[in-house]
Amino acid sequence: MKRIVRVFLIAIVIVITYTCAWSQPGQPMERIHAAKMAYITDRLRLSEEQAGNFVPLYNEYDNEIRATRHNYFSKYGGVNPAESDDATALQAIDDNLDYQADVIDIKRKYNERFLKIITPQQLADLNRSEREFKQILVQRLKQHQNNGGRLQRRNGR
């Protein structure tokens, strides 16, 4: 009975977090991150204890990935290597490989730490859930663009 109540409470928190993230005005990245965390927590079916340990570690992981991405894209964000001279194109290709290697290293490091909190199956589900959330986000952004800047809510408002 305690387990059912705990699962029910976790589900309610996730639904409220997800709903609030999409309905409140404010910082878009904060809203997206809150929705992502609610989605991932729900998809992994984390216990209360797992969620308490997982969320701060995931935030640390996400921040490290974002910082690595920011470092690379701040250097090459507006540059199209195909339209550059050969030396710049080669440097961009090399830096991109370094960026990808850095991301892989971060993922390997955090996989070990995640496995102290979640099961291998949940870790596999984490990777799938991140991809699914990204697809949902892209669909929502396309909807937003197609509707002249207004997001369509599922309930029609």
Report the alpha-carbon distance of residue 73 to residue 5 in Å, rounded: 45
Task: Quote the pTM value.
Answer: 0.70
3-state DSSP helix/strand/coil % of the chain, to nearest 5: 80, 0, 20
Kindly give the confidence (pLDDT) of every residue in the chain, 157 residues in length, as a single tens digit, with 9 standing for 90 and above.
555 545 544 555 454 454 444 445 557 788 888 999 999 999 999 999 999 999 999 999 999 999 999 998 888 776 676 777 888 888 888 988 999 999 999 999 999 999 999 999 999 999 999 999 999 999 988 888 887 655 545 554 4
Q: Would you state the pLDDT for residue 21?
A: 46
Q: Would you state the pLDDT for residue 68?
A: 94
Tokens 């859930």 -> residue:
129
Q: Would you state the pLDDT for residue 153?
A: 53
Report the alpha-carbon distance of residue 31 to residue 22 in Å, rounded: 7
Neighbours of 21 (CB within 10 A): 19
Report the alpha-carbon distance of residue 3 to residue 17 in Å, rounded: 21
Is the Cβ–Cβ distance between 2 and 23 less than 8 Å?
A: no
What distances in angstroms separate CA 115 from CA 54, 109, 118, 121, 124, one per listed residue? 10, 11, 5, 10, 11
Neighbours of 36 (CB within 10 A): 20
